[in-house]
Amino acid sequence: MVTPVLPHQNNVQQIGYKLLSMLNFKGKRGEEVARTLISACLWNDSVESKSRAYGVSPQTVRNYVEE
């Protein structure tokens, strides 16, 4: 059985890569924090749920955003 791909999934992925190239968080967890924020925004989901997928705590994301 083939699962259909959402028609906009490829566009969302391209937008995500472009946004990731524009964000520049410093530190050892910077890239994971950026991916978490972008993913939460693009998929209209919470930072808390997306942070688990990228192996970073929600508090770490908050700390990076506040800096």
| Res. 49 pLDDT band, cuts 50 70 90 | very high
Q: Residue 10's Cα: distance from chain center in Å?
A: 15
Average per-residue pLDDT for the chain? 85
Inter-residue contact 21 to 3 (CB < 8 Å): no
> What is the model's pLDDT at position 65?
86
